[in-house]
Amino acid sequence: MELHSLKPAAGSVKKRKRIARGQGSGHGGTATRGHKGDGSRSGHYTKRNFEGGQIPLQMRLPKVGFKNVNGIEYVVLNLDRLAHIADSHNTTTVDFPMLLKAGIVRRTDVVKILGKGELTKALNVSVQACSDSAKAAIEKAGGTINIVK
């Protein structure tokens, strides 16, 4: 075997399709574009999701859901979870920086306390929103609730 006798394996190299190089190439004439019509002209393109004039999939499916542009997506914490967080972090103050540091919320979240569960320990809570039942339960346990914006 010499350098000049090396060849690629049989069938591993395909010849490039030379389009519009005369009839002898097998791709002359219409140059694989078909006859007449928009697709045979230069500058033609098909829009994404175009289905050849059939009603596109996104139009065949029904509209679903509603996104309220003025709605606020709260991260909800119930009283029992709040008590668990305070116990596990050995603190009586629960505020946004503490929840952020604990990895419970993200920087852009808005926190709301809800009244599910019981609170036995007096907690000083500072969050963006709180339900009436949660506020009553926190104050009944001897704690305070501060609503921050």
Range of the domain at 119: 75-147
In a domain, 43, yes or no: no
Q: What is the pLDDT, as a whole number, of residue 79?
A: 94
CA-CA distance, 91 to 20, in Å (whole number)? 78
pLDDT digits (tens, 9 = 90+) for 91-106: 889 999 999 999 999 9
The reported pLDDT for the residue numbered 120 is 87
State how far the Cα of 63 lies from the Cα of 141, in Å rounded to an integer.
48
Does the residue 15 lie in any domain? no
* Per-residue pLDDT band at 112 (split at 50, 70, 90): very high
104 located within any domain: yes
Domain count of the fold of the chain: 1
Residue 122 lies in a domain: yes
- Whether 140 maps to a domain, the answer reads yes
Q: What is the pLDDT of residue 1?
A: 86
Residue 40 inside a domain? The answer is no
CA distance 96 to 45: 52
61, exposed or middle or buried, with CB in 10 Å at 0-12, 13-18, 19+? exposed
| 131: amino acid identity, one letter | S
pLDDT in tens, 125-139: 999 999 999 999 999
Pick from 105, 95, 103: which is nearest to 126 by CA? 95
**Which pTM value belongs to this model?**
0.58
Question: What pLDDT sits at residue 71?
Answer: 93
29: in domain? no
Domain contains 81: yes
User: CATH code at 107?
Assistant: 3.100.10.10
